[in-house]
């Protein structure tokens, strides 16, 4: 079964063709990041306009690279939640139009579920059940993936998402948006013990996260230093911050797996591209004889191939939509 998938939840307009949820026939991503960089973050109104301009060409390109016409697809999948509402609406309405014109089934896909499914494209042997740490620009969850379409959230952030914390700390250090990747690179040559930063815990919720205090600690260090005319070593501060975030993520993730008896751990979302998070999770799993998976780097960020992968499993479980499908800015991954 070949699914034409569309993604427009934030600042990438993407389309892909995926076969049987596991094989990428084509994947096209048009990023708007250079334009949003000028403003230090995503400007929702600009994002919607750029999606409108790009979507037709991106979908045509995905079909062309897969060597097929629209009517050779077996179904359409589209990200409908969560995300920027104006951005999501572009993809949802485009997909509804294609579905009406062709009669192809329309599959609504939850954005975070698709991030998890990016792993099915990189690891053919991976099957639920497993425990997943979903860390993106907008979410930080520990999720029990009981089956392809059955999930339970057991840990969440109480304030900033991990990616948001990375971006805000990076911005305070003068790095361009989105700063997570720049901070990660700077950290590679820094000393993670150079700065003492908190390891926040949420009392009574051992699997939950809190990153805003950590981000504020970094911003305060930078402000105090600049008031004294001192320039802080960015590589050391990046390394210390990255270690603090990674300690918190991996400690809670491993503890949850131990408590609930999971021996397969999976990373997902934009922050799963972080080199220390990947190394640390792999090391902790290896020590315990557990399996560890994370998506191939090009599939960590937003793309439509992952939407095609999850769309396949949603279709198999009977999850299709009609022309009344609407976009939702927020929606639990549990549905
Ligand atoms: O999943 P994603 O592409 O978009 C959302 O659904 O939010 O995640 C984007 C987030 C951004 O905050 C970005 O800075 C972060 O992922 N990110 C990273 C790295 N690469 C991307 N954070 C830390 N280290 C990285 N290497
Ligand atoms: Zn995402």
Query: Which residues fall inside 5 Å of ion ligand 2, going by CB?
Result: 136, 302
What pLDDT is attached to residue 110? Answer: 98
Measured between alpha carbons, how far is 52 from 262 in angstroms, rounded to an integer? 43
Measured between alpha carbons, how far is 136 from 303 in angstroms, rounded to an integer? 13
Sign of the Cα torsion 89, 153, 291, 310 reads negative
252 pLDDT band, cuts 50/70/90, is very high
What pLDDT is attached to residue 188? Answer: 98
21 pLDDT band, cuts 50/70/90, is very high
Backbone φ, ψ for residue 133 (5° rounding): -100, 110
Query: Crossing angle of helices 180-187/162-172, nearest 10°?
Result: 70
Cα(52) to centroid(ligand 1), Å: 23
Nearest CA to ligand 1 atom 10: 137
Ligand nearest to the CA of 306: 2
Name every protein residue with a CB atom under 6 angstroms from any ligand 1 atom: 10, 115, 136-138, 163, 166-167, 178-181, 184, 269-271, 273-274, 301-302
Beta bridge partners of residue 13, listed in sequence order: 30
Nearest CA to ligand 1 atom 23: 180
Cα(228) to centroid(ligand 1), Å: 32
Q: Are 83 and 10 in contact (CB under 8 A)?
A: yes
Q: Are 175 and 182 in contact (CB under 8 A)?
A: yes
**Topology, domain 128-295:** Nucleotidyltransferase; domain 5 (3.30.420)
Which residues, including other chains, have CB under 8 Å from residue 319's CB and lie 6 or more apart? 107, 108, 149
What pLDDT is attached to residue 329? Answer: 98
Cα(238) to centroid(ligand 1), Å: 15
Write down the residue that tokens 């403003």 correspond to: 39
Pocket probe for ligand 1: among 42, 137, 168, 183, the residue whose CB has the most ligand atoms within 8 Å is: 137
Write down the residue that tokens 């609406």 correspond to: 89
Measured between alpha carbons, how far is 123 from 115 in angstroms, rounded to an integer? 14
What pLDDT is attached to residue 205? Answer: 95
Nearest CA to ligand 1 atom 1: 270
**Closest ligand 1 atom to the C-alpha of 301?**
3
**Closest ligand 1 atom to the C-alpha of 179?**
14
Mean pLDDT for 87-107 is: 98
Cα(133) to centroid(ligand 1), Å: 13
138 pLDDT band, cuts 50/70/90, is very high
pLDDT digits (tens, 9 = 90+) for 107-132: 999 999 999 999 999 999 999 999 99
Concatenating the DSSP letter of every residue in 113-131 gives: HHHHHHHHHH-TT--SSEE
What pLDDT is attached to residue 287? Answer: 98
What pLDDT is attached to residue 3? Answer: 99
pLDDT digits (tens, 9 = 90+) for 300-335: 999 999 999 999 999 999 999 999 999 999 999 999
Question: What average pLDDT does the chain have?
Answer: 98
Q: Are 314 and 69 in contact (CB under 8 A)?
A: no
Cα(273) to centroid(ligand 2), Å: 12
pLDDT digits (tens, 9 = 90+) for 160-214: 999 999 999 999 999 999 999 999 999 999 999 999 999 988 999 999 999 999 9
Measured between alpha carbons, how far is 142 from 132 in angstroms, rounded to an integer? 6
Cis omega before residue 234 (within 30°)?
no
What pLDDT is attached to residue 11? Answer: 97
Q: Tell how strand 106-110 and strand 12-19 pair up.
A: unpaired
Query: Would you state the structure tokens that stand for residue 195, as one six-digit string?
Result: 């700065």
Same fold flag, 2-116+299-316 and 128-295: yes
Query: Would you state the structure tokens that stand for residue 200, as one six-digit string?
Result: 């926040």
pLDDT digits (tens, 9 = 90+) for 279-302: 999 999 999 999 999 999 999 999
**Topology, domain 2-116+299-316:** Nucleotidyltransferase; domain 5 (3.30.420)
Plot region of 318 (φ>0 → left; ψ -120 to 50 → alpha; else → beta): left
**Closest ligand 1 atom to the C-alpha of 9?**
6
Cα(303) to centroid(ligand 2), Å: 8
Which residues, including other chains, have CB under 8 Å from residue 158's CB and lie 6 or more apart? 202, 205, 208, 209, 210
Pocket probe for ligand 1: among 12, 36, 270, 274, the residue whose CB has the most ligand atoms within 8 Å is: 270
Cα(112) to centroid(ligand 2), Å: 7
Domain boundaries, the chain: 2-116+299-316, 128-295
Measured between alpha carbons, how far is 306 from 77 in angstroms, rounded to an integer? 10
pLDDT digits (tens, 9 = 90+) for 255-286: 999 999 999 999 999 999 999 999 999 999 99
pLDDT digits (tens, 9 = 90+) for 54-92: 999 999 999 999 999 999 999 999 999 999 999 999 999
Cα(273) to centroid(ligand 1), Å: 7
What count of other Cβ atoms lies within 10 Å of the Cβ of residue 282? 16
What pLDDT is attached to residue 308? Answer: 99
At residue 243's C-alpha, the angle toward residues 238 and 245, to 5°, is 95
At residue 118's C-alpha, the angle toward residues 113 and 121, to 5°, is 135
């Amino acid at each position: 079964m070949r699914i034409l998938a569309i993604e427009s939840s934030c600042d990438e307009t993407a389309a892909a063709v995926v076969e049987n949820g596991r094989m990428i026939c084509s994947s096209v991503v048009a990023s708007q990041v250079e334009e949003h960089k000028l403003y230090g973050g995503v400007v929702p109104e600009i994002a919607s306009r750029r999606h409108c301009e790009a979507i037709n060409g991106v979908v045509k390109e995905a079909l062309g690279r897969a060597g097929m016409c629209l009517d050779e697809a077996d179904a359409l999948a589209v990200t409908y939640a969560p995300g920027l509402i104006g951005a999501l609406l572009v993809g949802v309405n485009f997909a509804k139009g294609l579905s009406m014109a062709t009669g192809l089934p329309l599959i609504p896909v939850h954005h975070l579920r698709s991030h998890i499914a990016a792993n099915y494209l990189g690891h053919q042997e991976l099957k639920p059940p497993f425990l997943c740490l979903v860390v993106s620009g907008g979410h930080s969850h520990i999720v029990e993936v009981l089956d392809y379409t059955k999930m339970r959230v057991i840990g969440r952030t109480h304030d900033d998402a991990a990616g948001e914390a990375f971006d805000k700390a990076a911005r305070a250090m003068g790095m361009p948006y989105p700063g997570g990747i720049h901070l990660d690179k700077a950290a590679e040559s820094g000393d993670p013990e150079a700065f003492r930063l908190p390891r926040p815990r949420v009392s009574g919720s051992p699997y939950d996260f809190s990153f805003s205090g950590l981000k504020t600690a970094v911003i305060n260090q930078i402000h105090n230093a600049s008031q004294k005319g001192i320039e802080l070593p960015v590589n050391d501060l990046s390394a210390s911050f990255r270690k603090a975030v990674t300690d918190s993520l991996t400690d809670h993730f491993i503890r949850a797996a131990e408590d609930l008896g999971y021996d397969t751990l999976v990373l997902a979302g934009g922050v799963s591209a972080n080199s220390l998070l990947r190394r640390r999770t792999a090391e902790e799993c290896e020590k315990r004889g557990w399996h560890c998976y994370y998506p191939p780097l090009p599939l960590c960020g937003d793309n439509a191939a992952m939407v095609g992968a999850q769309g396949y499993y949603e279709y198999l479980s009977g999850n299709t939509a009609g022309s009344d499908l609407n976009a939702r800015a927020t929606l639990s991954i549990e549905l």
